[in-house]
Amino acid sequence: MAQDFFRIQGLSGARTLSGTVTVGGAKNAALKIMAASALFSDHVELRNVPEIEDVNRMAELLQGIGMTIERGTNTRTIRLPQVLNSSLPFGPAQAMRSSIVLTGPLLARLGRVSFPNPGGCSLGNRPIDLFIDGFKRFGATVKEEGESYVVEAPHGLRGMEFFFKVQSHTGTETLMMAATLAQGTTVLKNCALEPEVKSLADFLNACGARIVGAGTPTITIEGGSLLSSQSRFYETMPDRIETGSFMILGALAARELVIDGCVPQHVEIITEILRSAGVRVDVGERSITVYGTSSLSAVNVRTHEYPGLPTDLQSPMAVLLTQAQGESALFETIYEGRLGYTKDLVSMGARITPQDTHRVLIQGPASLSARTVKAPDLRAGMAFVIAAIVADGESIVENAYVIDRGYERITERLSAIGVDIRRN
């Protein structure tokens, strides 16, 4: 599976794609609800679940600690045993960054959790200090045993006050979930504002949690007992990163592309950047229509926590800037290792000049030529797919598996709007 690759016939800069692409459920919402199942006394049902590899990996993790997963088409039902294992399976947990969010619910429920340093995409330094500091503030002890951390709170977690030195949506969600079973009141400050955080809190509240302020910088949680879904189910919100990816593709390669089933308010920053670059974007209640243009203008962009430009859309945005007239500055403010993919865009003909580990200058428009490139991570992999669609000739994008981690049935969906793409 890891050896799969995409073979893409480029459009040589033509804007011929058209049709409608429907946005799937949000990866970063589904994964957090799956992790939150450890807070429940009964089953948890998820709908509109994206059929992607990260969901499969999270299911492996949950099964590894004793849960049962019933799988349907874009649905998952998670059933809990009487006894849960407090140790995350080493291999799956180490390979997946999102495994860290499972540690909070398990610690709160069992009073103990052990886990390896989580992995995932190679994006530079991604420390887990926020999580460790938060667990200690709850009153837990943290020890390193070999390659694993062992966190223990045999008498339960105690409510506390915690200020995030850096906004972190995984940190916010992990400590928020842990606090739902802690004794007393927890106040989290400088919290992440991502809509996935509020979506998680809303579902937990519907099932018995007492969380106030999710979606704002300060979240207050009154601890309580195990949650119960009863007859409720979680409807996974649309994926805003997928929405933004298709918006950028439409601006580069479509006559008219409708992105349906999305939440336009979640991608307002992408809409504004595209409009600043000269792209016509029409916004509906649950859809966005993008009209490709051959006269893109340079624009300076910087990643920022929500509602700013998501770091996950920085690499697709870089492809857009290679086709804009003039010089654009791109500033990655969150991960220092996330611009490494640009050397592959340069091999395709892009004119990108590194300034430091966080900044590049992009001169456009540049004619991109077909190349064989290997996706280094999920989002850069999608950027390479977009670049290959724009380029002249047939490109190979290797390591298709990492793109499968976040984009469901990408070959079929792109083919449906006119992309010549095959999977080998």
Express each pLDDT in 60-78 by its tens digit. Answer: 999 999 999 999 999 999 9
Residue 121 has pLDDT above 70, yes or no: no
Indicate the residue among 214, 235, 256 that finishes a domain: 235
Q: How far from the centroid of its chain's Cα atoms is residue 243's Cα?
A: 12
71 and 174, same structural domain?
A: yes
Residue 140 has pLDDT above 90, yes or no: yes
Q: Look at strands 287-291 and 112-116 and give their pairing.
A: unpaired
Indicate the residue among 171, 205, 235 that finishes a domain: 235
pTM of the model: 0.94
161 and 34, same structural domain?
A: yes
50 and 114, same structural domain?
A: yes
Range of the domain at 336: 5-24+238-423
The per-residue pLDDT for range 176-223, each reduced to its tens digit, is 999 999 999 999 999 999 999 999 999 999 999 999 999 999 999 999
> Which range is least confidently modeled, 119-123, 185-189, 330-334?
119-123
Least Cα distance to 296 among 364, 350, 387 occurs for 364
The pLDDT value recorded for residue 119 is: 53
CATH number of the structural domain spanning residue 53: 3.65.10.10
Indicate the residue among 235, 262, 283 that finishes a domain: 235
188 and 40, same structural domain?
A: yes
254 and 381, same structural domain?
A: yes
183 and 309, same structural domain?
A: no
> Does residue 262 have an active-site annotation?
no
255 and 205, same structural domain?
A: no
Domain count, the chain: 2
Look over the chain and give the mean of its residue pLDDT values, rounded to a whole number.
95
In one-letter notation, the amino acid at residue 18 is S
The pLDDT value recorded for residue 120 is: 44
SS3 264: helix
The per-residue pLDDT for range 237-275, each reduced to its tens digit, is 999 999 999 999 999 999 999 999 999 999 999 999 999
In one-letter notation, the amino acid at residue 92 is P
Gap between the Cα atoms of 140 and 128, Å rounded? 15
38 and 55, same structural domain?
A: yes
Gap between the Cα atoms of 415 and 399, Å rounded? 19
The pLDDT value recorded for residue 117 is: 78
Mean pLDDT of 25-36: 97
183 and 100, same structural domain?
A: yes
301 and 211, same structural domain?
A: no
Least Cα distance to 94 among 135, 148, 30 occurs for 148
Which of 121, 191, 207, 262 is flagged as catalytic?
Answer: 121
pLDDT range class, residue 341, cuts 50, 70, 90? very high
269 and 410, same structural domain?
A: yes
150 and 87, same structural domain?
A: yes
pLDDT range class, residue 336, cuts 50, 70, 90? confident
